[in-house]
Amino acid sequence: MNKQISFKEAVTILTLMLAVLGWGVIGFGLSPQIPVLTVIALLIFWLQIRGFEWEEVMKGISQGISTAIVPIFIFLLIGTLIAVWIQAGIIPSLMVLGFHLISSHFFVPSVFMVCSLVGLAIGSGFTTVSTVGIALFGMGSTLGINPALTVGAIISGAVFGDKMSPLSDSTNLASAVAETDLFDHIKNMMWSTIPAFIGSLLFFFFLGQSNKATSLAGIAAVESSLRQHFSVSFWAALPIILMFACAWKKVPAIQTLFVNIFLSVAMIFVQNPGFKMQKLATLIESGYVSNSGNKT
């Protein structure tokens, strides 16, 4: 740009933008779209007052959008992945397996460890929360674990795995901005991240002891409902193995998600030969809607 903005002015404008966003979303309870559009309009108006040419403003908008395109595309694919994973019985199968493997007394620290390992392998905290996290949350609800504690363990583990993964977009971006080697960057983060990991694990271990499991009859009822409405089998492990294999081979996130979605869709049609393409389109567009009648 031809014109320069001082650091003080930039901080002032950023503070005002955040204030407008917070005022709209928190103060008035509006959906984020309206405050965001308001901030964009005010920002463009301010740039015009400062004497910036319209071409410069449009160039800045284009650059900002181009930076966000890939993350937005990944978010869309993750939404599709969640829907087809549920329909194909992958997440229900994880829940059923977890009922037999994880003790309720050690459930919370187990959730933290599992999400940490998955996040570390695939390099995406959002994907971890949206796939394995959903299954673990459903298990926690059935076992009578405090939902807030379960969510805390899921998100904490996913964030740790994402932060320390060489496949993470944010970790790669940070090392690129700092102009340092990726693995040197990860090693330096360990000085603060490893103590935080150990402290969190101990925290979830002791805090999770105060929870009591629900009756075995309640777990059996949920498991029966899952088996009745979904295809629960060891074949559900295929997409998960594929995701870990892609992570091991350092396949980019978009390709990994596409391949996993195609495999999951193929499993849906194998399990339900009469499954209609229209229903698949609705599943991808609107997500999975349960009709099991079981609120848990």
Rounded Cα–Cα distance for residues 272 and 281 (Å):
15
Helix then strand count (H, E) for the chain reads 14, 0
* Mean per-residue pLDDT over the chain, rounded: 80
Band (pLDDT 50/70/90 cuts) for residue 140 is: confident
Determine the pLDDT at residue 167.
65
Least confident among 126-130, 151-155, 199-203, 266-270:
126-130
Q: What integer pLDDT is reported at residue 156 of this predicted model?
A: 93
Contacts of 58 (CB under 8 A, 6+ apart): none
pLDDT at residue number 1: 45
Residue predicted with more confidence, 236 or 127: 236
pLDDT 10s digits, 258-287: 998 999 999 989 888 888 888 888 888 877
Whole-number pLDDT of residue 293: 55
Name which of 103, 114, 83, 115 is nearest 143 in CA terms. Answer: 103
Q: How far apart are CA 171 and CA 169, in angstroms?
A: 6
131 phi/psi in degrees, rounded to 5 = -115, -80
Out of 58-72, 167-181, 251-265, least confident range: 167-181
> How does pLDDT run across 1-32, given as a tens digit for each residue?
456 778 888 899 989 999 999 999 888 888 88
Cα–Cα distance measured from residue 84 to residue 272, given in angstroms and rounded to the nearest whole number: 13
Shortest CA distance to 104 belongs to which of 156, 148, 144?
A: 144
Check pLDDT > 50 for residue 173: yes
Q: Are 148 and 204 in contact, with CB atoms under 8 Å apart?
A: no
Query: Quick one: pLDDT at residue 178?
Result: 73
- 168 against 112, higher pLDDT: 112
Would the pTM count as exceeding 0.85? no
For residues 192 and 188, what is the distance between their CA atoms, to the nearest angstrom?
8
Q: Tell me, rounded to whole angstroms, the distance of Cα 135 from its chain centroid.
A: 13
How much of the chain exceeds pLDDT 90, in percent?
10
The half-sphere exposure of 24 on its side-chain side, counting CA atoms within 13 A, is: 15
Check residue 293 and report its DSSP letter. Answer: S
CA separation for the pair 88, 235 (Å, rounded) = 10
